[in-house]
Every structure is written in C-alpha cells, then in structure tokens.
Structure 1
Amino acid sequence: MPGLISAMQGFVVIGIVIATGYVTARLQIGGKDAQMVLNRVSFFISSPCLMFAILSKEPIFEIFHSSIIVAFGSAMLAGLVFLLCNRLWFHLPAADATIGALNSLYLNSNNIGLPVATYILGNPALVAPILVMQQAVFTPIGLTILDITTTGKVTAKRILAQPLHQPLLIGSLGGIAVSALSAHLGWYVIPNYIFDPINMIGESAVPMILMAFGMSLHNSKPLKKTQHRGAIVTVAVIKNIIMPLLAFTLAYWGLGFRGATLYACVVLAALPTGQNVYNYAARYNVGMSFARDGILLSTMTSPIFIAIIAALLS
C-alpha cells in the first residue's frame, strides 16, 4: 500500500523535527527561554497566519463539507467521554480536566492530517472542515475555560470578549471571509505581495510548535507522573480507538456515508492529538506534562490504528 507507506513517512518527518527541538534544548541553543518564546510566537503570530493562508485559499464549499458533522459529533462525544472518566476515576482539577478533554478530541489536522489526507485519502481539502471546527468551536471554548480557571475571574463581559483574545480564531474567520468573498467575485481578492508574507510567516508555525514540543521533552520523564498515568492512557484510548468508532457510527448509521467518504471520516478521526494542545497548556502554564504525554502517546500509537483502519476500510 504505497499511500499508507507515504503517510507513515509523514510521522517520520514530524519525529525528526521534534527530535531537533530536543537536541536544541539539550545543547542550550537559544537559552532557557527558547521554548517559551517559540510557543508564544507560534500562538500569537505564526499559527493565525497559517490558518488565514490555508482557509482563504480553500473553496468555501469545501470548508463546510458535510463531513464536518461527523468530525464535530465524534470529537464532542470523545471529549465528554474523558470528562465522564475524570468524574468517575481521576478527579483532576478543572484546568487539567480541560487539557485532558482537548487531548481526547483535538486532531492533528495540519502536520499529520494533511499528509494523511493527501497520501491515504487523495484529497488534502478533507481536513479543512476539521480546521474550521477546531478553531471556531473547540479552541475558543477550551481556552475560555482555561482562562477562567487559571485567573479565577468569571464575568459575562470576559466570556463574550474571549474570542477577541484568540488569534487562531481571528485568523481562521478572516480566512473564511476571504474565501467567501473570493467565491462571490470569482477571483482571489488578496494580492500576492500581501498573501505571500502572511503565508511565509504561517509556514513557520508547525516547525515552531513541534520544536517547542521536543524541547519540553528535555530533562523530563514522559509517562512517569503516576498521578496522571491512568488519565494519559485513557486519552490515548479515547483518541485512537473510541473516537474512530464514534465517527464510524455517526457516518455509517447517522448520515448514511459509504465508500470513500466513510473511509475519510474514520481515518481522520484516528489522527493523533494535535501539538496545539501543548501550545495552549504552555500558554496558560497548566497541565503541560499531561498535555505533552497525552500527545506523545497518541502520536506513537496512531499509525498502528490508521494502518488497521486502512486495511479494513480502504
């Protein structure tokens, strides 16, 4: 299966960049604050530019493909499953539970999702609905909860103003607006001399996030914190097994999808947790080891389950 092999090569690429971040931290290149700087630059500048560049070029009808219903439903249910498990067994505080829920539902739709969609599914645009769903719905909700639980301030004004504090959402909505306007006019409305620098800055987001993640592994012992070990394993099980099963159920019996569309929904649901969750944890300085270990474990096991899904449904 050449497509499957190509997709697995995408995991190798990601691993090399993460390893580069680890070596960078080990050699103390950039100083002790290098990881924090990469996280902040990516969160406030590079990632919003990336989302704008991707979504503004994407046809508006592809962004809101009907598969977004499956992606939204399976992700929401996966997050609720973790919150239920937390209530029954783990009893994590609100901020850590929010990180656990994000770890369970958030898909690595960009740096793993794009190669998977390209090499296994044959259509990179299939990740566009997931990008919109995560940035427009789950990310603002998750970051609002983190903001409230870490500051202790809860007011209607603060909640309503929260989207204005989310650069990723602003970049995503700006890209969707440009896509809609371009579709209406019949030509892309942003001139190249403006789009190109935005795109160049955006292309730095994924390497920075991955390198910061690799830096976090230095002088740390992943999966060694016994108080979170059960929750971390639960995150990986929900992300790699339960969420694809939920997606299959919603797609097959709920919406009647068959063939390539059904296959795409299930494969994309099996993507590992996105490194963005660690970026958010670092932004609020909460649950960082939990986020890192959940991402690491789901990323290590995800290729196995994607291969199984490909063997069963492709």
Structure 2
Amino acid sequence: MFVGFATIGLLIGLGILLAQLGIIDEAGQRTLSTLAFFVASPALLLTVLESSDLKAVFSGNVVALAGAVVVSVAVIVAVSVIKGHDLATTTVAAQCAAYANAGNLGLPIAAYVLGDAALVAPLLLLQLLLLQPLALTLLDAAVSPIRLSVGAVLARPFKNPITVGSALGLALAVSGLRLPQVLNDPLELVAGMAVPSMLLAYGVSLRLGPLPGRGVSAGQLGLVVGLKMVVQPMSAYLIGRFIIGLDTEALLAVTVLSALPTAQNVFVIASRYNRGALLARDAIFVSTIASVPVVLLVTALIA
C-alpha cells in the first residue's frame, strides 16, 4: 500500500515540477483535467465496474460512507442553527465538511492503494446522484433568481460524464453482458489515461493555484476541516466496524475514502452562488494537505 502512495506522490510531484519548469501552464492543467473528467474517468469506471462484484462493492460500504456523511452534515446544521447562518452558507459549509474529492484523488487512491478502482464507485455515486443535486437545489432555492424545475434538477447528475460511465458499467455488471472486444480494448486504453492525467493536473494546480488568504475565521475553517479529516473517517470506521461488521479490507476502504479532502468543485459551486467561496477555497487547500498524513495513518492502523 505504501508503494501505491509513493506512486501517487511521485506523479503529483512530477506535475509540480512540470509546472515549475513552465512545461505545463494553467491552460495545460485545464486540458488534463477536462480530458480526465469527460473522457478517461468515465471509461475507467465503465471498464472497471462492468466486471466487478457489485455485492462486494456496494454492500455495507455504502451504509458506512453515507452514515459518515450524515454525521458531518448534522454537526454543521446544528452549529448553523445555533449561530443563525443562512441556508446558502450552511449548504456550502456542509459540502466543505462532507463532500470528498472522490474523482481526482479517490480514483487514484482506490486503484493504487486499495487495489480496486471500483471501491470508489459507491462514494462517487452517492455524491453525484444525491449530495450534489441536493446542494444545488438548496442553493438555488436560497439565492438564485431563476428557479430550476424539478426535472432540470433531477437531470443534473445524468449530464455528468462520470455518472454516465458509472451507470453504464453498473448496467453491464447487473445484466451480465460484456462489451465486445473491439469496443472494450480502446476503452481500456483511454481508461489508462485517467489516473496519470488527474494526478499530473493536481500537481500542476498545487504549484500554480492560489494559497489561502484572509477572510475566513480560524474557528470556522477548523470546524469544517476537522469534520472532514477527523470526524468523517472516524464515523465511517465506527459504523463499519461496530454496526455493519465490515471485514478489514472493506473497513480500510470506507475509512480511507472518508478521509479524502474536500472536492474542488465545492469551490466552483460556492463561487457560482457567491456564498462561502473563501471558506471552500481554504477548506480544500488545508484538507488536501492534511489528507496525506491522515490517510497514511489510517492505512497503517487498519491495514
């Protein structure tokens, strides 16, 4: 497993070096990210899930992951009620505390550290099909002058290429069908670009991206980062071990995935609605740095 972390770290470091040398700039980073998001990651999830044991992947893992999310969100809601925060601010804070970077970091960690990229599928689907549409609906209700129809809100996740790739892979797995080799072989080649391109793009973004600035209180930032990096993985572990009774391998998977940092798209959403953008930016930065020792510690203790 530590070899897997070394692989991830070296590729991120290569991305940092390429940015430092000026070989890849911000435009190149966006191209890498776009390629991974729209093409390579959907292909990876499709090819991985079509031959996966869905019972093993989705059984108790979903319950532990979802339960950990509920714990973090519940704390944010309770604090927001006490302090009188508005709905939009509360929604962004809840995303900072519970919405994990399952795409850019979750897929590589699942593939190289946990040994199975399909393990990240429950978290991806939980976030893309439930958490993100719910957050957008709440934000739209709170601040947007244009109200989306119920149909438009429900259709949002299915316009996400990662969701589409996952859904197709799940459909193939459930039906027992397999893609013909003439389609499967090129898809696997494209899927092979997913993890390297994500990690290189992530390294470039670390080098070229802005550092956190002032504007967010230490208490507020500490709360969301503490929930994301400590409370959520601990909750996943406790639920998985004592309520569901997961085996060691599954317990490691749900705990590590719950310890992923806040996802970058939380900042995109916060900026779009002009609510909590600084909190989202700083939470992403701090939780990303903190996730390295946290995930290493979790792996060492459980594995």
Class of the TM-score when normalised by the shorter of the 2 chains:
0.7 to 0.9
What is the Cα deviation at residue 264 of structure 1?
Answer: 4.3
What is the Cα deviation at residue 67 of structure 1?
Answer: 2.1
C-alpha distance after superposition, 1:87-111 (max 9, x if no partner): 55694872x6545433432343211
Would the aligned equivalents of 1:48 and 1:172 in 2 still touch at CA under 8 Å? yes
TM-score for the superposition, normalised by structure 2: 0.76
Would the aligned equivalents of 2:128 and 2:157 in 1 still touch at CA under 8 Å? no
Check if 1:278 corresponds to 2:274.
Answer: no
Gap runs ≥5 in structure 1? 183-187
Structure 1 partner of 2:292: 303
- Identity rate, percent: 25
What is the Cα deviation at residue 243 of structure 1?
Answer: 0.8
TM-score for the superposition, normalised by structure 1: 0.74
Structure 2 partner of 1:157: 151
What is the Cα deviation at residue 174 of structure 1?
Answer: 0.9
Flag the 1:261–1:111 CA change in 2: closer, same or farther, 3 A: closer
C-alpha distance after superposition, 1:194-236 (max 9, x if no partner): 1233333333344444444444445654222332654443332
What is the Cα deviation at residue 301 of structure 1?
Answer: 1.9
Gap runs ≥5 in structure 2? none
Tell me which moved more, 241-250 or 159-168: 159-168
Would the aligned equivalents of 2:158 and 2:164 in 1 still touch at CA under 8 Å? yes
Check if 1:138 corresponds to 2:131.
Answer: yes
Q: How many residues align?
A: 295
1:64 alignment partner, SS class: helix
> What value does the CA root-mean-square deviation take over the aligned residues?
3.6
Flag the 1:269–1:193 CA change in 2: closer, same or farther, 3 A: same
Look up the equivalent residue of 1:305 and give its one-letter code: V
Structure 2 partner of 1:72: 66
Would the aligned equivalents of 1:55 and 1:176 in 2 still touch at CA under 8 Å? yes
Tell me which moved more, 50-59 or 212-221: 212-221
Flag the 1:313–1:220 CA change in 2: closer, same or farther, 3 A: closer
What is the Cα deviation at residue 247 of structure 1?
Answer: 1.4
2:60 alignment partner, SS class: coil
Structure 2 partner of 1:254: 243
2:108 alignment partner, SS class: coil
Would the aligned equivalents of 1:72 and 1:133 in 2 still touch at CA under 8 Å? yes
What is the Cα deviation at residue 309 of structure 1?
Answer: 3.4
Structure 2 partner of 1:226: 215
The partner residue of 2:75 within 66, 72, 81 is: 81
Q: What is the 5 A alignment of 1:122-201?
A: 126-142=119-135, 152-182=146-176, 189-201=178-190
Would the aligned equivalents of 1:50 and 1:202 in 2 still touch at CA under 8 Å? yes
